[in-house]
Amino acid sequence: MITPEHANCPRAGFLRRLGACCYDLLLAVAVYMLSGAIGFGIFTLVVNSGLISMGEHQHMADLLNQTPLFHNLYQAYLAIIIALFYSLFWSKGGQTLGMRAWRLKVQHPNGQTLSLVTAFARVVWSLLGIGNLWILLSADKLALQDKMTRSEVVVLSKEANQMRNWHGA
C-alpha cells in the first residue's frame, strides 16, 4: 500500500527511534516469554509422549538446555518469533506499538509499506538494534537497516498517526 502523504515526512532521529525501541522492547519481552512458555509446553508434551527420551536428565529444562540440538532449535524458534513480531507489524501498517506512540512509521521513500520479506530483512540488518548507531554517523538519518532495505523511518504528524495506516482498518 502506498501512502503518498507520508512520502514527504521528515526522517526520525536517533533519540526518537531509541524511545520507540524502549517501548517495543517491553512488548517484545512479553512475546518472548509467551512464546517460550508455549515452546516449552510443546517440548514437554513431546518428551512425555515418549518421542524424546529424558536420558540421564532429571528435569525437562535440563534436557532442553543441555542438549545442543534441542537448545539451538528452541533458541532459533524464539528468534524467529521475535523477528516475525516486528516483520508483521512493519509489513501490516509500518508501525509497531512503540513506533505508534512516538509517531514513527517505517516505509519506502515513496510512502509504500514494506513487504513481509523486506521487513524480515530489515530485522536481520538491524543487528539487534545496533544498526541504529549508524544514524549517528549519517547526515541523512538512515540506519544500517534503512540503507540495506531501501527504507526509512519517518516522523508522522498527529493527524497522520491514525489507525488508517493499518491494512483492513
Residue 6: its pLDDT value, please? 72
Residue 128: its pLDDT value, please? 83
pLDDT tens-place string over residues 77-111: 999 999 999 999 999 999 999 999 999 999 999 99
| Average pLDDT score, the chain | 92
Q: Quote the CA–CA distance of 169 and 22 in Å, as a whole number.
A: 26
pLDDT tens-place string over residues 112-155: 999 999 999 999 999 888 999 999 998 999 999 999 999 999 99
pLDDT tens-place string over residues 63-78: 999 999 999 999 999 9
Residue 167: its pLDDT value, please? 57
- The label of the residue with cell 516486528 reads 86
